[in-house]
């Protein structure tokens, strides 16, 4: 850490302390970090220094109460982010950036959400913040044990890979949506995100600007593991 200097670290990161670590699902950890005074919009993420200040991994914020942020981190793969989430313990210091990201709701006649387990962490607070507009959507997970309390349709892969998931695209294709476009929020594995966007734009005729995408991970790509 000293190699890049304390002053630079303090410009890049907020220093927090881990308050709690516990299972959220069998494959997901709930990690609460002290973080007073942040400006957060539901759907945004923080970049955690996982494995050192120059190794950043982005995690959606499940909740923020003005004093601490709650992350829910899926244990998948063996990258630095997954290793950090498995090893971190209460009372440890954590460096993380301030909340950022454009995966936030916008005014729309209706909203569509599509993604897998990692997307569910962002979708939960986004849905809680919505008021009256109709909502449609589907979340794919490996098994029912992976569900978070997110009020959308859930589908299950039952051991099939999450990357390039044809079953999620099929589930979005089955959604009965109004004739006019709304706003879609598509997040999760990068290739699946591209396929869902292609369906909405090419098959349903939505404008690209109406589909907000956020690829969180894809196999073999450094920084998205």
pLDDT in tens, the chain (225 residues): 445 577 777 788 999 999 999 999 999 999 999 999 999 999 999 999 997 777 899 999 999 999 999 999 998 777 888 899 999 999 999 999 999 999 999 999 999 999 999 999 999 999 999 988 999 999 999 999 999 999 999 999 999 999 999 999 999 999 999 999 999 999 999 999 999 999 999 999 999 999 999 999 888 765 444
Of 169, 124, 166, 118, nearest in space to 146 by CA: 118
Residues 6+ apart with CB under 8 A from 51: 80, 83, 84
Residue with token string 């304390």: 6
Helix count (H) and strand count (E) of the chain? Answer: 5, 11
Q: Which two tokens stand for residue 143?
A: 């098994």
Structure tokens at 48: 């955690």
Give the closest residue to 157 by CA, choosing from 147, 194, 215: 147
pLDDT of residue 77: 73
> d(Cα 91, Cα 219) in Å, to the nearest integer?
32
> For residues 69 and 49, what is the distance between their CA atoms, to the nearest angstrom?
15
**pLDDT for res 51:** 79
pLDDT at 148: 97
pTM: 0.92
Q: Parallel, antiparallel, or unpaired for β 28-34 and 14-25?
A: antiparallel
| Contact partners, residue 12, CB within 8 Å, separation at least 6 | 53, 95, 97
CA distance 38 to 122: 17
For residues 150 and 165, the answer to whether their CB atoms sit within 8 Å is no
């Amino acid at each position: 850490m000293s190699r890049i200097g304390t002053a630079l670290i303090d410009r890049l990161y907020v220093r927090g302390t881990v308050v709690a670590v516990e299972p959220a699902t069998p494959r997901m950890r709930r990690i609460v970090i002290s973080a007073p005074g942040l400006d957060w919009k539901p759907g945004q993420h923080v970049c955690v220094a996982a494995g050192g200040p120059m190794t950043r991994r982005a995690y959606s914020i499940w909740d923020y109460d003005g004093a601490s942020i709650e992350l829910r981190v899926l244990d998948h793969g063996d990258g630095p982010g997954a290793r950090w989430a498995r090893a971190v313990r209460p009372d440890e210091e954590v460096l993380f950036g301030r909340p950022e990201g454009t995966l936030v709701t916008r005014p729309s006649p209706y909203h569509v959400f599509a993604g897998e387990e990692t997307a569910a962490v962002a979708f939960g607070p986004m849905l809680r913040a919505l008021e009256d507009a109709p909502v449609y959507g589907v979340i794919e997970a490996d098994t029912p044990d992976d569900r978070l309390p997110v009020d959308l349709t859930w589908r299950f892969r039952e051991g099939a890979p999450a990357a390039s998931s044809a079953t999620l695209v099929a589930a979005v294709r089955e959604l009965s949506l109004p004739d006019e476009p709304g706003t879609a929020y598509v997040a999760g594995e990068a290739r699946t995100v591209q396929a869902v966007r292609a369906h909405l734009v090419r098959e349903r005729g939505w404008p690209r600007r109406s589909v907000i995408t956020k690829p969180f991970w894809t196999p073999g790509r450094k920084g998205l593991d």
